[in-house]
Amino acid sequence: MTLQPGDALAAHNFGLQIDGVMVEYLQEVGGLSMEQDVIEYQQVSAAGKPITKKMPGVKKAGECTVTRGMTESAAFTQWINESVAGNMSSARKNATIMLMDYQGTAVKRYNLRNAWCSKVETSGVKAGDATALTEQVTIVFEELVIE
């Protein structure tokens, strides 16, 4: 690894794998979130003093958003279509967001279990506009495992 003590990862070195296949032409991955309920309970100590404790509760499912250039990627489009069609037996896939060092070696992985696309939004088209078209896909998942 090329990172020295105290160095942070650079935001521009990242990748996304879906069932082990790298997604090409990514622009941004953002909004990665997952929550867990917090259970708060109160009790009284042997000395009669109130004590408040907190414990982990139920994990909630999470989501993230992927923005990519609109390309002819048949695999990614098929995954979106399977999700939109409700064909969950083939739409649920494992995905990994990888953060990489300066040499392209994955240093941190966010593994998304049973991920599928819940929303697709394309950038607007406009006559005379000289920008690239993008699609933004919201990916929901059932479990997050960080390595």
Rounded mean pLDDT, 94-108: 91
When pLDDT is cut at 50, 70 and 90, the band that residue 75 belongs to is: confident
Average pLDDT over residues 73-102: 91
What pLDDT score does 1 carry? 53
Reported as a single tens digit per residue, the pLDDT across 22-38 is: 888 889 999 999 999 99
Average pLDDT over residues 94-106: 91
Q: Give the pLDDT confidence score for residue 54 in this predicted structure.
A: 97
Domains in the chain, please, with CATH? 14-146 (2.30.110.20)
Burial class (CB in 10 A: 0-12, 13-18, 19+), 143: middle
Write down the H helix ranges in 1-143.
74-84, 88-91
Return the H-helix or E-strand segment holding 138: strand 134-141
The pLDDT of residue 112: 97
- Phi and psi angles of residue 101, each rounded to the nearest 5 degrees, phi first: -80, -170
Residues 67-102 as b/e (b if ≥16 CB within 10 A, e otherwise) read ebeeeebeebeebbebbeeeeeeebbbbbbbbbbbe
Do residues 8 and 100 touch, judged by C-beta distance below 8 A? no
